[in-house]
Amino acid sequence: METIDLGRAFAQSLSGLGVPAELARALWLPLPMLVILATVAVGVILVVWGERKWAGYMQQRFGPTIVGLGGSIQGAADGLKLLIKEDIIPNKADPWLFTVGPAIVIIPVFFSYLVIPFGQGLVLSDIAIGIFFIIAVSSISPIGALMAGYASNNKYALLGGLRAAAQSLSYEIPLALSVLALVMMSNSLSTVDIVKQQETLGLFSFFSWNVWRQPLGFVIFLISALAETERAPFDLPEAESELVAGHHTEYSGMKFALFYLSEYANLILASLMASVLFLGGWSFIVPLEPLAGLFGIQTASPVFQVVAALVGISVTILKATFFIFLAVLARWTLPRVRIDQLLDLGWKFLLPVSLFNLLLTAALMLLSNTIKTTLPLYVPLLIMAGLVFVALTLQKKPVAKPKTAGA
C-alpha cells in the first residue's frame, strides 16, 4: 500500500475540478494545522482524563466522575474554565514578550505533527527530512519558555525558564543521537521510510522492529523524551516545592492553558514518535498484505485498502497509548530528581552512551553490508539481555539475621 501525501492528493483533486494548481495549494495550507489542532485538542482531553483515572486507580480513589460519563469531559470543562478566566499581566512584566512566550512554546509542537504518519498510507506531509524537521522545530520551544520566564519579572519564573532551557539542551542531544542510529539503519530521514524499513521480514516483521535492533537507543529515547516533555520525575522547571510553578507562575487564563496544552501535546507527540521509530508504526504484529495473500484477498480492492488504513491507524494509536501509560506510571511512582542529578544524567551518562550506541550501530551496519545479512544488527539485543541477566544474577539477596537465644 503506497503512502498517500494528503497535500498532493488534495491539490490534484481540486485541479481535476478545474481549480488552478496555485489556488489549490493555497487552500491546502491552513487545513493541516486545523486538522492537527482539532485532533490534538481531542487527544489532550482524552489523555488528561485517562491520566486522572489511572492516577486515581493507583491511589485507590475514583478520579473524575461527575462531568460527563465517568468524568470523560472533565478536561473540556477545565479548558472552558480557563477560557473565561481573566487574563492578568503583571505590572512590571514585558507585555509583548509575556504574550508571545506561550505561542512560541506551543506552535512548534503542532508543526511537528505534520510529518508523523498516523497510519498506513496516511501522512499530512511526507518530506524527505522529516526527522531533521522534528528535531529542528522542537528546539524552538525552550526559547519560548525562557522568554516567558524572563518577561514575567519574577525570580521563580526566570529560574524556571532557565531550568527549562538547560534541561532541553541537555536531553535533546542524546535524543537526536538515538534517532540518528535509526536514520543510519534505514538510510533515510523520512518517518515513512523508517516505518517501511521495519517491514522487511514479511510475516516475521515483528522481529524487524527497531526496538529489537536498537534496545539501547530505545531506552535512551524514552528517558530523553520524558525529560523533553518536562514531566515528573523530570519536572524541574515547574517544581512546586522550589519554584511555585516555574515559568508558569505569573500566567493565568488561556495563556496558562497554552502551556498546559503544550505539555500534553508534547507527550502525545513523543509517544507517536516512539511508536513510529521503534515499534513499527502502523505495522501489525503480522503484516496484513501477506495474510491477505494467504487467504486469496486482493490487496488492491477498496475494502482491503479501507480495512488496512483503519487497522494501521488503530495500531499506531494503541502503541502510542502504551508509551503514554509508561509516562503516567513514571509520574505517579517515581520521586522528582534534583537539578544536578538531572544534568549529570544527561551529560555524563546518556550523552556518552548514545555516542557509543551510534558508533556500535555504524560498525554493525558495516559488518551487515559486508556479509549480506541483517543478523549483526541484533547484537545489541544480546548484549542488553546479557547485562540484565548478569545484573539480576549478581543482585544481593537479603540474608535473614539469626535469632538470638533470648528472642
Nearest-angstrom CA–CA distance, 20 and 339: 56
CB 185 within 8 A of CB 365: yes
Considering the domain architecture, whether residues 98 and 230 belong to the same structural domain is answered as yes
Q: For residue 214, tell me if it sits in a domain.
A: yes
Q: Which of 36, 54, 77 is the last residue of a domain?
A: 77
- Counting the structural domains of the chain, the total is 2
Residue 368: is it exposed, middle or buried by C-beta count within 10 angstroms (0-12/13-18/19+)? middle
- pLDDT, residue 278, reads 94
Whether residue 135 lies inside any domain: the answer is yes
For 372, half-sphere exposure in the C-beta direction (CA atoms, 13 angstrom radius) is 0
- Return the pLDDT at 1: 53
Residues 323 and 354 occupy one common structural domain: yes
Give the pLDDT score at 357. Answer: 93
Tens of pLDDT along 196-222? 888 876 667 788 889 999 999 999 999
91 and 69 assigned to the same domain = no
Q: Are residues 163 and 38 in the same domain?
A: no
pLDDT reported for residue 403: 66
Identify whether the C-beta of residue 380 lies closer than 8 Å to the C-beta of residue 215.
yes
Assess whether 188 and 230 both reside in one domain: yes
Residues 230 and 330 in one domain: yes
The mean pLDDT of the chain is: 84
**Is 230's pLDDT higher than 90?**
no
Last residue of a domain, one of 56, 77, 98: 77
* SS3 annotation, the chain: CCCEEHHHHHHHHHHHCCCCHHHHHHHHCHHHHHHHHHHHHHHHHHHHHHHHHHHHHHCCCCCCCCCCHHHCCHHHHHHHHHHHCCCCCCCCCCHHHHHHHHHHHHHHHHHHHHHCCCECCEECCCCCCHHHHHHHHHCCHHHHHHHHHHHCCCHHHHHHHHHHHHHHHHHHHHHHHHHHHHHHHHCCCCHHHHHHHCCCCHHHHHHHCHHHHCHHHHHHHHHHHHHHCCCCCCCHHHCHHHHCCHHHCCCCHHHHHHHHHHHHHHHHHHHHHHHHHHCCCCCCCCCHHHHHHHCCCCCCCHHHHHHHHHHHHHHHHHHHHHHHHHHHHHHHHCCCCCHHHHHHHHHHHHHHHHHHHHHHHHHHHHHHHHHCCCHHHHHHHHHHHHHHHHHHHHCCCCCCCCCCCCC
Asked if residue 36 belongs to a domain, the reply is yes
Q: How many CB atoms lie within 10 A of CB 348?
A: 10
Any domain includes 273: yes
Average pLDDT over residues 304-308: 74
> Is the pLDDT score of 301 beyond 60?
yes
202: left (phi over 0), alpha (psi -120 to 50) or beta: left
CA 153 – CA 292 distance, rounded (Å): 63
- In this structure, are 166 and 267 located in the same domain? yes
Identify whether 325 is part of a domain. yes
pLDDT, tens only, 105-135: 999 998 899 889 887 767 877 888 889 999 9
- Residue 347, pLDDT score: 93
Question: Do 57 and 102 belong together in one domain?
Answer: no
The alpha carbon of residue 76 and the mean position of all alpha carbons in its chain are separated, in whole angstroms, by 22
Does residue 190 sit in the same domain as residue 260? yes
Residue 63 structural domain: 27-77
How far apart are the C-alpha atoms of 243 and 253, rounded to whole Å? 20
In a domain, 392, yes or no: no
Q: What is the gyration radius of the CA atoms in the chain, in angstroms?
A: 24
Q: How confident is the model at residue 35 (pLDDT cuts 50, 70, 90)?
A: confident
Residue 404 located in a structural domain: no
Cα 396 to Cα 302: distance, rounded to the nearest angstrom: 60
Q: Do residues 194 and 132 share a domain?
A: yes
pLDDT score recorded for residue 225: 93
pLDDT score of 407 more than 60: no
Q: 236 and 351, same structural domain? A: yes
The predicted structure's pLDDT at residue 405: 60
Question: What is the rounded CA–CA span in Å between residue 45 and residue 67?
Answer: 13
Task: State pLDDT tens for residues 66-78.
Answer: 877 778 788 888 8
Question: What pLDDT score does 302 carry?
Answer: 66
If asked whether residues 298 and 265 sit together in one domain, one would say yes
Exposed/middle/buried for residue 399 (C-beta within 10 Å: 0-12, 13-18, 19+):
exposed
- Asked whether residue 400 is domain-assigned, the answer is no
